[in-house]
């Protein structure tokens, strides 16, 4: 118990404030220790591979994925963690010290490393000294100020390197999608600065000249959809969308959640409305049935004698796995892979097949990696990933009820029925 008088409560506030501040410092110190351990692990692995005769260009392959698994993170994050650790430990002692002391958070240290990535080792060390040698100078600086100061110093040290990086950056332009609450999505475009600013300005201008009762944000969003698809925002677009739901949810009004491919769970009513909208467009409906285990919802296996996964079996595995089966990797499926390679008599089957992203498929081929697939007692597909250090991580295919494919004027419905 603590003192509930006014003075006691004020004292308790101070204790809680100090506790939060101390925990934040400990988080930063732990991040510094993780960086040190990560850099040392990479050095040890490279030494082992050098002594084993592995060519220098091939040493350290797969390390980023192992770091990601150890940190329960995605492979892309593993690349960032490994690069951050090596740069910090080898080239940026002042930034590392500020992180260890809790003056910098892990993210702010990452910003400094990122902005110095284009510099030579010597210039990176100069930036590190100028920005972080005096911890007191970092006090009160937010993310944007840290980034601005690092950019400014980097440009001063090597203007050409900064310009060269800016010239190469447009090669990374891309568009991505991720789920948002309430059956919404974030569609994000990474664009060159001039194009991004002009796109946003164009959408803002449309909102300014069309005050028709919609909010500015609504008008900008609708305009974006119309300009990308060439159709009004309220007219269905002729693209394929795969959705997972049971026959009960589709036909009997059950409330079991459905799943939209590349999005995630949505209420059954939303899925039914998508189908209804498509049918209202005079669509043609075809029904395809698959079967699932009654308790776990796992799809029943399919096999093939072919080395490559036939289209039907590949579709089956995509429906079952939804995203890359490497633990903590949420990337979209790009490859349908043999867990036990076909060259080692691995069958082309639903059990031995797994959906994975391109990166994880290539990592699995590195020495010391092994993937084993089994069905658990409930019929769920389990993939066990063993790393070169002997650590094993498991991923279990999510329960699945069924699937449907929607076109604006051509609706194909695939429902999953429970096996007896």
Full DSSP string of 283-337:
-EEEEEEEEE-TTT-PBPP-EESSSSPPHHHHHHHHHHH-S--STT--PPP-EEE
Cα 37 to Cα 58, 83, 164, 295, distances in angstroms = 21, 13, 32, 43
Choose the weakest-confidence range: 25-34, 49-58, 207-216, 258-267: 258-267
DSSP string, 101-124: TTSS-HHHHHHHHHHTTTS-HHHH
Instruction: Name, in order, each residue with C-beta under 8 angstroms of 161's C-beta and a sequence gap of 6 or more.
Output: 118, 119, 120, 123, 154
Taking only the tens place, the pLDDT of each residue in 257-269 is 676 666 667 777 7
Task: Report pLDDT for 378.
Answer: 79
Residue 277: pLDDT band by 50, 70, 90 thresholds?
Answer: low
Are 363 and 65 spatial neighbours (Cβ–Cβ below 8 Å)?
A: yes
The dihedral formed by the CA atoms of 362, 363, 369 and 371, expressed in degrees to the nearest 10: -60
Mean pLDDT for all residues in the chain: 84
> What sign results for the dihedral spanned by CA atoms 219, 222, 224, 230?
negative
Are 177 and 262 spatial neighbours (Cβ–Cβ below 8 Å)?
A: yes
Instruction: Name, in order, each residue with C-beta under 8 angstroms of 272's C-beta and a sequence gap of 6 or more.
Output: 249, 250, 253
Return phi, psi of residue 385, to 5°.
Answer: -105, 120
Task: Report pLDDT for 385.
Answer: 95
Average pLDDT over residues 395-410: 56
Coil, strand or helix at 59: coil
Average pLDDT over residues 104-115: 96
Q: What count of other Cβ atoms lies within 10 Å of the Cβ of residue 346?
A: 17
Average pLDDT over residues 279-303: 52
DSSP string, 329-387: --PPP-EEEESS-GGGT--EETTTEEEE-HHHHHHHTSTT-EEEEEE-TTS-EEEEEE-
Coil, strand or helix at 9: helix
Task: Report pLDDT for 290.
Answer: 53
Average pLDDT over residues 51-62: 94
Choose the weakest-confidence range: 183-187, 202-206, 299-303, 333-337: 299-303
Are 149 and 104 spatial neighbours (Cβ–Cβ below 8 Å)?
A: no
Q: Which residue has the higher pLDDT, 277 or 80?
A: 80
Coil, strand or helix at 42: helix
The secondary element (H helix, E strand) that includes residue 183 is none
Number of H helices, E strands in the chain: 14, 15
d(CA 123, CA 153): 10
Give which of 295, 320, 269 is closest to 258, Cα–Cα: 269
Task: Report pLDDT for 307.
Answer: 65
Task: Kindly state the greatest CA–CA separation across the chain.
Answer: 78
Taking only the tens place, the pLDDT of each residue in 118-169 is 999 999 999 999 999 999 999 999 999 999 999 999 999 999 999 998 889 8
Beta bridge partners of 289: 415
Residue 399: pLDDT band by 50, 70, 90 thresholds?
Answer: confident
């Amino acid at each position: 118990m603590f003192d509930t008088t006014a003075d006691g409560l004020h004292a308790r506030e101070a204790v809680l404030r100090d506790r939060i501040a101390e925990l934040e410092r400990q988080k930063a110190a732990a991040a510094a220790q993780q960086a040190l351990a990560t850099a040392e692990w990479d050095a040890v692995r490279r030494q082992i591979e050098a002594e084993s005769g592995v060519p220098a260009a091939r040493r350290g392959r797969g390390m980023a994925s192992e770091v990601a698994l150890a940190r329960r993170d995605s492979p892309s994050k593993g690349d960032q963690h490994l690069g951050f650790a090596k740069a910090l430990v080898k080239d940026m002692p002042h930034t590392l010290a500020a992180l260890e002391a809790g003056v910098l958070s892990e993210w702010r240290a990452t910003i400094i490393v990122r902005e110095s990535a284009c510099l030579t080792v010597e210039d990176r060390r100069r930036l590190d000294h100028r920005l972080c040698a005096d911890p007191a100078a970092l006090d009160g600086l937010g993310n944007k100020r840290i980034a601005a100061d690092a950019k400014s110093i980097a440009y001063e040290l090597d203007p050409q390197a900064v310009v060269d990086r800016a010239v190469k950056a447009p090669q990374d332009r891309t568009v991505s999608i991720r789920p948002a609450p309430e059956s919404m999505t974030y569609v994000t475009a990474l664009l060159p600065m001039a194009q991004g600013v002009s796109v946003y300005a164009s959408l803002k201008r449309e909102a300014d000249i069309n005050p028709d009762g919609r909010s500015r944000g609504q008008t900008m969003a609708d305009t974006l959809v119309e300009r990308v698809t060439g159709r009004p925002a309220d007219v269905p677009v002729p693209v394929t969308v795969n959705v997972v739901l049971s026959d009960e949810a589709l036909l009997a009004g059950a409330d079991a959640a459905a799943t939209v491919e590349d999005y995630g769970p949505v209420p059954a009513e939303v899925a039914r409305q998508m189908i209804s909208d498509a049918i209202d467009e005079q669509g043609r409906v075809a029904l395809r049935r698959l079967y699932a285990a009654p308790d776990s919802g796992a799809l029943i296996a399919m096999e093939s004698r072919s080395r490559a996964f036939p289209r039907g079996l590949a579709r089956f595995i995509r429906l079952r796995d939804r995203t890359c089966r490497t633990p903590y990797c949420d990337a979209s499926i790009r490859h349908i892979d043999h867990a036990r390679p076909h060259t080692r008599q691995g069958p082309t089957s639903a059990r031995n097949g797994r959906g994975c992203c391109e990166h994880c498929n290539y990592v699995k081929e590195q020495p010391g990696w092994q993937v084993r697939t089994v069905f658990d007692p409930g019929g769920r597909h389990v993939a066990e990933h063993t790393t070169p250090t002997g650590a094993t991580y498991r991923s279990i295919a999510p329960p699945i009820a069924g699937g449907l494919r929607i076109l604006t004027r051509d609706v194909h419905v695939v429902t999953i029925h429970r096996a007896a």
